[in-house]
Structure 1
Amino acid sequence: MASPASFAHLVIFARRPVLGVGKRRLAAAVGDVEALRFQRLAIDRLLRRLAGDPRWTTTVATSPDRPTDWLRGRAAAMPQGRGDLGRRLSGTARRFPTGRLVIIGSDTPAVGPADVAAAFDALRGHEAVVGPARDGGYWLIGLRRSARGLLPFEGIRWSSAHTLADTLDRLGGNRVARLRTLEDVDDLASYRRFTAQRP
Structure 2
Amino acid sequence: MGADRARRHLVIFARQPRLGVGKRRLATDVGDLGALRFSRYALDRLWRELGVDPRWTLWVATSPDRPHDWVRLGRPLPQGPGDLGRRLRRVVCRLPPGPAVIIGADTPGVTRTDIARAFAALGPKAAVLGPAVDGGYWLIGLRRRPREPLPFAGVRWSSVHTLDDTLQALGDAPRALLQVREDVDDGAALRRALRPRRLR
> TM-score, normalised to structure 2's length?
0.94
Shift of 1:188: 2.2
| 2:66 maps to 1:66 | yes
* Structure 2: segments with no counterpart, 5+ residues: none
Cα-to-partner distance string for 1:7-64 (whole Å, 9 max, x where unaligned): 1000000000111122112112211000000010001100111010000000000000
Which residue number corresponds to residue 170 of structure 1?
169
Structure 1 unaligned spans of 5+: none
Question: SS of the counterpart of 2:145?
Answer: helix
Deviates further, 93-102 or 119-128: 93-102
Could you tell me which residue of structure 2 aligns to residue 161 of structure 1?
160
CA RMSD in angstroms, aligned pairs only: 1.5
Q: Secondary structure at the match of 1:90?
A: helix
Pairwise CA distance, 1:189: 2.1
In structure 2, distance between residues paired with 1:47 and 1:54? 13
Write out per-residue CA displacement over residues 70-91 of structure 1, whole angstroms, 9 at most, x where no aligned residue. 123x211010001011100010
Matches within 5 A, 1:47-58: 47-58=47-58
Alignment of 1:25-174 (within 5 A): 25-72=25-72, 74-146=73-145, 149-174=148-173
Aligned residues: 198
Q: Helix, strand or coil for the counterpart of 1:31?
A: helix
SS in 2 for 1:184: coil
Identity %: 60
Per mean C-alpha deviation after superposition, the further-off stretch among 147-156 and 157-166 is: 147-156
